[in-house]
A and B are shown apart, each in its own frame.
Chain A
Amino acid sequence: MVEVPLEIYRKSPQDAAPHYDRFQIEVEEHTPVLTVLLKVRDEIDPTLSLRYSCRQAICGSCAMRINGKSRLACRTPVGPEVRLRGRIRIDPMGNQPVLRDLVVDQKPFWDRYYAVKPYLIPDPAHPLPEGRESPMSPEQVEQFRETPRCISCASCYSACPAIASDPSFLGPMALAKLYRFAVDPRDGGYTQRLQAVQNQGLWLCLRCNLCVEACPKDVRPAERIVDLKWMANQELGAREPGSRHAIRFASNLTEGGLLNERRLAVDTLGLGGSLRQLPKAIAMMRKGRSLRRHPPIQGLNEVQAIYQALDRPEDLAHRERQKGADVKGPRPPLPPKATTQSAPPPSKGGSP
């Protein structure tokens, strides 16, 4: 048994300021936080409001911040949390307005989900086979990777600092969902989907990995976003500032070992665009940031060797094999859907 000091965020719609209510409850070590909250509600304070349903980490209702981290209450045992912090503090999810106590308005989250067209876009050139399933190899199913596991709990959305700083960012869940359709061999919207997110929607990800940490289903949204960035560059070319930035960042760094930020701005935004950034540059210099070109660092050859190793095709192939994906690039092989034969089974794994 363990004594759980609980601090629960409380806010009624009328309250200007929220507060924490404190409770002390004794339960078994492995008791999920949800069970403890329901115990509080049933035995101490029936006015506590929260969302929950399945209590087995599949309905995605009970995401909240537990000791600051976005988690599902139903699958977070109390023991480790108490040992770590000496108490458990419960807050509502982030990036969504609080309706009451732990209940948030999820409209911003769902709006982004709808924005990525989360359904199959028909491919007029390759209609689905009449009266039978679309042929798909086990390897192709594997390429959906972790994305079908998503339970839309919004833990990733709650944890994402990029959404907090720029509301135009689609956020981890919606982008992972977009990935799920982009790699679907039945979907006809590959280019259209990538075009739609190419601008800020995709490139605002900070790669902080907080979504990976928050996801209770190991969907690894940040990795799917990296995949999408790669797919966008391959399919559409590096036309957007975001993608140019990513590519120039690497080449810039391998030249001298340190970033030449002046050059990076010009490469990313063009001359006109970077001139518009002049006030920002001046502000940076006032704070002591040097925008001069640095002399090449010692050990530059080692930096270059790292980048070279990363770019070597056999290493790329190795990395991709590790992820269980196609060796030639991030886009998974499509099934042989052009043929008119009576749907032969797809050849194993390889690229078309």
Chain B
Amino acid sequence: MLVVGAGLAGQRAALEAVHAGRRVAVLTKLHPLRSHSGAAQGGINAAMGPQDSVHDHVYDTVKGSDYLADQDAVEILCRQAGPTVIEMEHFGTVFNRASDGTLDRRAFGGASYNRTIFAADRTGLALLQALFEEITREERLRIYEEYFALRLVVRDGRVQGVVALNRKTGTVEGFSAPAVVMATGPFGRMYSRTTNSHASTGDGCALAYRAGALLKDLEMVQFHPTALPGSGILITEGARGEGGILKNARGERFMERYAPHAKDLASRDVVSRSIATEVAEGRGFPDGTCHLELMHLGREKVETKLQEIVDFCRSFAGVDPVTQPIPVYPAQHYMMGGISTNPRGEATIPGLYAAGEAACVSVHGANRLGANSLLETLVFGKIAGANAAEHASRASPAEVTAGEVEEATRELHSLWDRKEGESPAALRTALQTLMDRNVGIFRSPGPLNEALAEIRRLKERYQHCHVADPSTVYNINLTDALELGHLLDLAEVVVRAALDRTESRGAHVRLDFPKRDDVHWLKHTLARWTPQGPELSYLPVTITEYTPKERSY
């Protein structure tokens, strides 16, 4: 079987499949250790504290999701949290410890207890290294580094494999597999103000969508409250978990007004809206930011528990958080939506699976709680890997034919061989500026309609863009153009779904429909590719014991 993407979800899926006796190929356009999972800072949630319980974790997650999460899936997520953390510890992760030798826990937004296990402020890196080191033992697992997936091959109603470009040689190769796990991460690069890596271009989501798989809830875009302005570099929620507070230009601790109980640790959608509102109403600093203060925590705490943050601020913002406030503004951070799967990790095409940020199970609904995403990658990576392995063992042999490889190659060359046209870079900048401006934290029909029309024009212009680099070796001009094509397809879905959802829920805020509407909108948005653009349909939310009620923090 085949896994596309080698971050935490992809690696965990691959490891599980190898344990189930399969031979596994993992394709990644980077090196596994360069995956964006490594950039996760704050931690991983597991109800391991003495007062805490799985039940509380489920409740907090469902409430955080603004009741759009599927509660059966959340239950799985939270129940598996403890064993997952222990397993990662046994794989070698060095988590911070409390004085009694047990795992230390920190506070995180939207959580009733200190539930976030962490490794300083580089938890993602610690987990990624430990998992990668674990899979390097496995001989039946082969990693194809720096392969860029071009096409998901679906024939006879089921998955046959993937066609991919070898970035080092420029050759196009077919990988036949009866089961494919897409674990290609997010598509935040449709925004310029984003915490996501340059590689976060939703390749797997776009390929699955084009091959006929359904996407779910793409309108649900999380903006992280605290990113450095300009660069969009993330300042972990752990900074507030350790006691950091937000202030406006008048020196007010404004979160007291928006979330009297949780204050700075309200859920992310709430804090992001609050910062944006403060700035919009003239109480921000002249550079359009609010300030995050850590000075009162003392040098030692800041320098030991938030090392990376100190480093980022000093090198990227010229600010020393030990003695100075950090200027922050919300930036796109996480895509709650993705390839629609059920809690078994199965997408809507037989043989196709998805996990991690590329997937939408859905455990995050309309708003993800901090430190639940690392957890999701591992829990549902494992589940998708196990089910894909099982499917692969039963399925008849799959084949990506020479004809299919040739067809993908022809398509690639129709883009590559054009002799003139606009540069993909110019189109990408146009898309990012548009998404920043029109599809941000606060949404309304005017800007959304404008965005939709503009994206369609950009897609048309994309048909004539020009890849100037003819080289077959490490041609980033070419892969940039391919990534842009993926982003354009997905951006169209984000905007279409945001236009249709005439309510405000979690991260999706419509100024013309400021209230949540459970009567009409307690349902997931599904999108299917058609030549005319996405065709939307809806799927009820799975509710077990938590009936929707008003959310307050």
Contacts and interface: CB of A to CB of B under 8 A. Distances in A.
Contacts of A137: 97, 99, 101
Interface in A92-112: 99-101, 103, 106, 110
B474 to A, nearest CB: 5
Interface string A1-44: 00000000000110000000000000000101000000001110
A249 interface: no
A141 B99 CA distance: 11
Contacts of B426: 42
B469 interface: yes
B102 A103 contact: no
Main SS of the interface on chain A? Answer: loop
B463 interface: no
A248 B115 CA distance: 54
B137 A119 contact: yes
Contacts of A110: 31
Contacts, number: 160
A118 B133 contact: yes
A114 B101 contact: no
Best-surrounded residue of B34, B35, B103 (most CB of chain A within 10 A)? B34
A91 interface: no
A133 B95 contact: yes
Contacts of A41: 425, 476-477
Contacts of B94: 136, 141, 144, 148, 184
Interface in A57-83: 57-61, 75, 77
B475 A49 contact: yes
A133 B102 contact: yes
A241 interface: no
What band does the interface of chain A fall in when counting residues whose beta carbon is under 8 Å from B?
A: 35 or more
A30 B318 contact: yes
A61 B474 CA distance: 14
A149 interface: yes
B469 A61 contact: no
B473 A13 contact: yes
Contacts of A55: 197-198, 231, 233
B136 A118 contact: yes
Interface string A331-350: 00001000000010110100
Contacts of A57: 311-312, 315
Contacts of B311: 57
A52 B101 contact: no
A54 interface: yes
A268 interface: no
A182 B96 CA distance: 19
A138 B92 CA distance: 16
B13 interface: no
B125 interface: yes
B469 A47 contact: yes
Interface of A: 12-13, 30, 32, 41-43, 46-47, 49-50, 52-61, 75, 77, 99-101, 103, 106, 110, 114, 118-120, 128, 131-138, 140-141, 144, 148-149, 151-152, 181, 184, 186, 335, 343, 345-346, 348
